[in-house]
Amino acid sequence: ISKRSVREFKWASCGKPSDPLEVKSLNVSPDPIHLSASITLSFDVLLSRNISSFELDLEVKKKILFAWIELPCENNVGSCDYKDVCSLIPNPCPKPIKAHHLPCSCPLPMDAYSLPPSLFHLPQLPLPSWLTSGDYYAKAEGVEGKKRIFCLELYFSLA
């Protein structure tokens, strides 16, 4: 995936075949995403071993003119390192996750997980106006202990 421009939501694995979590498909709409609205999300994921807990290293960049500028971590938004992702899982579990019998707490058991197109309401985030629209790149790496679980690159637009 090239970082030149974002024309539509795109994703790619940056992991290795040996990573225990493999994303087979990932779809998000509308495109561009409208903050403080709703999105439709679907995915197919294969988890080849149990995951007890994990960290998430997130790098987020915004395209400003001709350059991609990394956004610092502020109030848990931006390029942040989340030490315990399991503690961030919403409680109660989002309705679409619960309705399709997907796990909503750790440990995550080895299995194939599928979510058909499902509606999620986005939370209100206290973002400055210059961050609420534009083209973005995000790289997410999940790590358990010292071993990588997954790596994903995402390109998306906010409007």
At residue 6, the pLDDT reads 62
Q: Is residue 114 part of a domain?
A: yes
Question: Which among 83, 49, 82, 22 has a CA at the least distance from the CA of 11?
Answer: 22
Cα–Cα dist 110/125, whole Å:
33
At residue 52, the pLDDT reads 93
Q: Is residue 71 part of a domain?
A: yes
CATH number for the domain including 132? Answer: 2.70.220.10
Q: Is residue 145 part of a domain?
A: yes
Q: What total number of domains does the chain contain?
A: 1
Q: Is residue 5 part of a domain?
A: no
DSSP-derived secondary structure letter, 131:
G
At residue 5, the pLDDT reads 54
Q: Is residue 132 part of a domain?
A: yes
| Digitized pLDDT (tens) for each residue of the chain, 159 residues in all | 445 456 689 999 999 999 999 999 999 999 999 887 899 999 999 999 999 999 999 999 999 998 999 999 988 889 999 999 999 988 899 999 999 999 999 999 999 999 999 999 887 777 777 778 899 999 999 999 999 999 999 999 998
Q: Which class for 69: exposed (0-12), middle (13-18), buried (19 or more C-beta within 10 A)?
A: exposed
Q: Is residue 53 part of a domain?
A: yes
Q: Is residue 81 part of a domain?
A: yes
Q: Tell me which residue range forms the domain holding 132.
A: 10-158
Cα–Cα dist 36/28, whole Å:
15
Cα–Cα dist 131/136, whole Å:
10
The CA angle 126-128-131, to the nearest 5 degrees, is 105
Q: Is residue 80 part of a domain?
A: yes
